[in-house]
Amino acid sequence: MKSLLVFTLMVLASIAPEHRIDFGENTGSQDWRVLSDSVMGGLSYGRIQYMENSLQFKGEVSLENNGGFSSIRSPWSEMDLSRFETVSIRFRSKGQAFAFTLEKDQRWYLPYFKKEFTSDSEDWQEVTLKLSDFNEYRIGRMTENKLSKENLEDIIRIGIVTNSKKKSPFELEIDYIVFK
């Protein structure tokens, strides 16, 4: 009986029309972590606070010691996102530029994919990004490649990174992320 239930859940998950990540104190999505340029000697920092229905990410980007970014990342996990066309993010910020990232490998120097999103308002809003518009990056530099369906089969981590490349405080609050 237990194996039938597991099989049924696997089948339903494989045909689900969307993959949703809800943030907040009681959602089960409290395992994201901060990764900043301090891993390379930079002085940027960020912190996460889980609110009742959201994740708040704030800190400061520093350009000292070749710094320039702070990010939040999901746990490592195999994700086949090839059946989805878009990713939507419900968020609010104070006008900063951020980018949504998709990684295929744990090694930092191998290619990853990202797409920028910004806000011109401090109000809640939803932005929808076409996955086919994501560019490939290698060590922070854009290549000429785009994200393909084959790449989407092998995603192991998603994240959001500051993308302004300037010294400044930042603040981002995220309600949910939905792949459709």
**Distance of alpha carbon 133 from alpha carbon 86, whole angstroms:** 9
- Is residue 11, in this structure, part of any structural domain at all? no
- Could you give the percent of the chain with pLDDT greater than 70? 91
Domain that holds residue 155: 17-179
Taking the CA of residue 19 as centre, how many other CA atoms within 13 Å lie in the half-sphere pointing to its CB? 15
- 6: three-class secondary structure by DSSP: helix
Give the count of domains, the chain: 1
- Is residue 90, in this structure, part of any structural domain at all? yes
**CATH code of the domain covering residue 128:** 2.60.120.430
pLDDT over threshold 50, residue 8: no
> Which helix H or strand E contains 155, and what residues bound it?
none
- Is residue 4, in this structure, part of any structural domain at all? no
Q: How confident is the model at residue 12 (pLDDT cuts 50, 70, 90)?
A: very low
Render pLDDT for 101-131 as a digit per residue (tens, 0 to 9): 999 999 989 999 999 999 888 999 999 999 9
Taking the CA of residue 180 as centre, how many other CA atoms within 13 Å lie in the half-sphere pointing to its CB? 10
pLDDT of the residue at 56: 96
- 73: three-class secondary structure by DSSP: strand
pLDDT over threshold 50, residue 31: yes
